[in-house]
Chain A
Amino acid sequence: MAIPKICGIETEYGIRILPPGEYSPVSLSSLLVSSYVSEIQRQVDWDFEDESPGNDARGFSLESTMAPSVEPHLLNAVLVNGSRYYVDHAHPELSTPECATALELVRYDKAGEEILRRSMAAANRLLPEGASVVVYKNNSDGKGNSYGCHENYLMDRSTPFGQIVQNIVPHFVSRQVFTGAGKVGSEARVIDPGDDRALYQISQRADFFEELVGLETTLKRPIVNTRDEPHADPQRYRRLHVIVGDANLSEVATYLKVATTSIVLAMIEDGFFAECDMSLENPVQAMHEVSHDLGLRACLRLADGRTTTALGLQWDLLALAKKYGVERGLDCIGGEESGAHALARWETVLEALEQDPSSLSHQLDWVAKLELLKGYKDRNGLSWQDRRLWALDLQYHDLRPERSLFARLGMERLTSDEGVEAAVMYPPEDTRAWFRGTCLSRWPAQVVAANWDSLVFDLGSDPLRRVPMMDPLKGTAAQLGSLMRQASTPAELLRLLSS
C-alpha cells in the first residue's frame, strides 16, 4: 500500500536591485532573509548535522567537487510556519513545510510568496533612500541562467529507484502542458532561433534538461534527480527530489502539478504500472518538443514504437489513476474527497487543453501569459523580438503587488487570503511541521537549532537536547496537541514526550 505523499516545494527567487548594480546578489539575498527574520521573528539557526546532498539514490556517495555544496556560513533560518528560509548561492530560497495534501501545499507555497513580499518591504526600509529590491518568482533570466523550483515527495524506501525512474519520466515530460509557466524565447540550442517554435514556449525550465537521470542540479540537469537525502528514517523512507518543474504563480497549476505527481508516485509504489509501460524513446528530446509545442499536437515516440502526444500520455495517466482510485482508494493523497477533487480537476483541464487551451487563461500560467502577450503584441503591432514582450514576461512574475501582471489577471484562487495569512504564521497541522513550528513559536529562546528531522533545545543547565523527528507523519496536532497544551515549558514538554 502506497504511503502518504507528504510533499513540499523549494523555490529560488530571482532578485534585482533598483537602481541597478550596487549590491551583489548574495548580499541582497542575505538582506532579504535577515531583514524578514529580524523584523518578524528572532532567528533560529538551521542545523546542518544531517545534511548530505551528495548522497545518490543509485547507491553511492559522490564526494567530488561536482556534488552540491552546503554553505553553512550563509544565512539560514527556520520560520514559525515550519518552513526554511535561506540564501542559496545567489538567490533567496524558501522551502515550505511538509504538507499532507496538494491543496495544503498550494496554501504554503502562496504563504512563501507573501513572506518574500514582506521581506522586500523589510529590506527596503534598510536600504538607502531611493534604492529597493525586487523579487521575481520565475526560473530563467532569458540568458541561459536557470534557478529552480524543486518539489519533494515522501516515498517508500522499498520501491526500487529504477522503477520510479521508468514510470515517472513520461509524467514529467507531459505534465508541462499544465505546469508550464510560459517563456518568451528559447535558451536551448536544440531549437533553431529562426524557428517559430522558439518564439514562446510552455515551460521556463525545459530548455535546461539534458540528461535522463543524475545528481546534478546546476548543469547537465537530469529529468530525474537522484539526490538521496530523506530527511527522515532512511530505512523506511525516500524523499524524491523533483527538479524538473516550473515555479507557478497560478494556484491551479501548483495544485495540479503536486496532486497528479503524488498520484502517479503512489501508483508506482503500488506496482500499478506493471502492465502499462509508457517509456519514451527519447525523453530529453520529448521534454523540449512538448515545451515548444503550443498546439499540443507534437508526436512523441514511445520506446515500444507506438506514437502519442503529451496530452495522450496525460489521458493515459489519468485513466490509470481513475482505475487506481477505484481499486486501491486515494488515502495516500488525503482521502477520497481530496482525491476525487484532484482527478476531476485533472480531467477538466485536459479536456480544455484539448478543445481550446486559451479557455484556461484564468487557470494556467503559460496560457495566461501567452494571451496577455499576444494581446499586447497585436495591439501594438510588435514582433516577438520586441523587448517590451520580454519585459512583460519578466513582469508577470514580479512579486510587487503594484507591478505584478499575474496579480492583475484575476486568476482563479484555490486558497483564501485568510488561509494564506494563517499559513504565514502557523505550521500545517497534519505533519511533523506542526511540532517544529509550534515549538519555535512558543519557545523561540529555547529552540536553538532546527532541521527537517530534529529540534535542538537549550534547557538551561543540562547539555543541549536534540529531539529527533525521523517520521514526517509524526508530530501532528492530533498526536501532540494535548501534550503541548499540558506543557508550560520545553523541559516539561520533553519530559512528557519521553514518558
Chain B
Amino acid sequence: MSERELKRRSPASKQTNEDAAGAQSAPAAPQATSAAKQGEKIKADLDNLLDEIDEVLEDNAEEFVRSYVQKGGE
C-alpha cells in the first residue's frame, strides 16, 4: 500500500500526520493552541461516548467478567 492511501479521519489523526510529515519547523505557539483545542475536542468526544456507553455495555458485568475464561492457546 502506498503512503497516499493514508486516511486522515479524526482531527487527532490530522494533527499527528501533519506533525509526522515534517512540520517540525512550525512555530510553537500555533501548535500549542491547536494542541489545546485538540485536547478539548478529545475530552468532548469522550464525554459523548460516556453518555451512551451504558447502552452498549454488557448487561451483567459481573457475570460477563466471571464467565470470560480462555484456556489453551499458543
Contact = CB atoms under 8 A, between A and B. Distances in A.
Interface of A: 12, 14-16, 20-21, 25, 68, 88-91, 101, 103-104, 107, 140-143, 145-148, 150, 217-218, 243, 337-338, 341, 344-345, 348, 359, 361-363, 371-372, 375-376, 379, 387-388, 390-392, 394-395, 402-403, 405, 408-416, 419
19 contacts: A12-B73, A21-B67, A25-B72, A89-B72, A101-B1, A141-B69, A143-B69, A146-B73, A147-B70, A147-B74, A148-B73, A218-B74, A341-B3, A344-B19, A387-B65, A387-B66, A394-B68, A395-B57, A419-B5
Contacts, number: 146
Interface in B3-18: 3, 5-7, 9-10, 12-13, 16-17
Contacts of A148: 73-74
Given A344-B21, A344-B22, A388-B61, A405 B56 contact: yes
Contact of A359 (B9, B35, B67, B68): B35
Given A147-B73, A344-B22, A376-B53, A391 B61 contact: yes
Which of B5, B57, B67, B70 has the most chain A CB within a 10 Å cutoff? B70
Given A12-B74, A145-B69, A394 B21 contact: no
A25 to B, nearest CB: 7
Q: Closest 3 CB pairs between A and B?
A: A147-B73, A412-B13, A362-B12
A91 B49 CA distance: 31
A415 B13 CA distance: 12
Nearest to B21: A344
Interface in B21-64: 21-22, 35, 38-39, 42, 45-47, 49-50, 53, 56-58, 61-62, 64
Contacts of B17: 412
A121 B23 CA distance: 44
Chain B interface category by residue count = 35 or more
B1 A412 contact: no
B43 to A, nearest CB: 9
A341 B5 CA distance: 13
Contacts of A101: 1
Interface of B: 1, 3, 5-7, 9-10, 12-13, 16-17, 19-22, 35, 38-39, 42, 45-47, 49-50, 53, 56-58, 61-62, 64-74
Given A145-B72, A403-B56, A415-B5, 7 more contacts: A16-B68, A91-B73, A363-B12, A372-B50, A408-B49, A414-B7, A419-B1
A416 B65 CA distance: 33
A104 B5 CA distance: 11
A414 B6 contact: yes
Contacts of B68: 14, 16, 141-142, 394
Given A348-B20, A362-B12, A391 B74 contact: no
B33 to A, nearest CB: 14
B32 to A, nearest CB: 11
Given A344-B20, A371-B46, A390 B65 contact: yes
A376 B72 CA distance: 32
Nearest to B9: A413
B57 A388 contact: yes
Given A90-B70, A141-B70, A145-B69, A348 B16 contact: yes
Contacts of B16: 348, 362-363, 412
Nearest to A184: B65
Contact of A391 (B9, B35, B65): B65
Contacts of A20: 67
Contacts of A150: 74
A394 B65 contact: yes
B8 to A, nearest CB: 8
Given A412-B12, A419-B1, A375 B70 contact: no
